[in-house]
Amino acid sequence: MNVQDVMTRDVEYIPSDTTLAEAALKMRDSDTGFLPIGDSDQSKLQGVITDRDIVVRAIAAGKDPNKATVKEFKTDKVLYCYQSDSVESAAENMREQQVYRLVVLDNKDDKRLCGIVSLGDVVRHDNENLGGKTARGISEGKTH
């Protein structure tokens, strides 16, 4: 099974000038804690913003979420895989990087955003053994 068979496809960029408050509302409305940042659907991925970035890096530092933008607090190091990669390969990448989600790009040439694959996607698609192994690997070494 490939990543394209399990990934979440309904993903779109948010502009880099989006306020943290607007990003938080989009996360709430989309039931996600992770948004890719890009100034157009054709642009390269500029980074990602997570609910943790908003709360721990911005709000806890006293930043006003109605004024601060996602560009200021984004995570620049974007971990990704390709839609043609195997689910096992993506799960191994999550374990190694100790992350719960990967951006999915269309191919090695174009590198366009086409989805997100999460630990939940792995588990939901009848792969509980792989999901459990991945979750244990992600959790190892995490102190929070």
Rounded distance between C-alpha atoms, residue 26 and residue 82, angstroms: 25
- Residue 55 forms part of a structural domain: yes
- Quick one: tokens of 90? 């993506």
Are 134 and 94 contacting, i.e. CB atoms less than 8 angstroms apart? Answer: yes
Residue 144 in domain: no
For residue 36, which of 54, 16, 9 has the smallest C-alpha distance? 16
pLDDT score recorded for residue 143: 45
Total count of domains within the chain:
1
Nearest to 7 by CA among 107, 85, 96: 85
Which CATH number is 79's domain given? 3.10.580.10
DSSP assignments along 32-57, one per residue = -SEEEE-SSTTSPP-EEEEHHIIIII
Residue 90 lies in a domain: yes
CB atoms within 10 A of CB 60: 9
Domain that holds residue 77: 3-139
pLDDT of residue 144: 44
At 44 the pLDDT is: 77
pLDDT digits (tens, 9 = 90+) for 29-84: 988 888 999 987 666 788 999 999 999 999 999 999 999 999 999 998 889 999 99
CA distances from residue 114 to 2, 59, 87, 107 in whole angstroms, order as listed: 14, 30, 15, 9
SS3 20: helix
Q: Given this model, what pLDDT does residue 31 score?
A: 86
Q: Mind listing the pLDDT tens digit for each residue in 84-136?
A: 999 999 989 998 988 889 999 998 888 889 999 988 888 887 655 766 667 66
* Res. 138: pLDDT tops 80: no
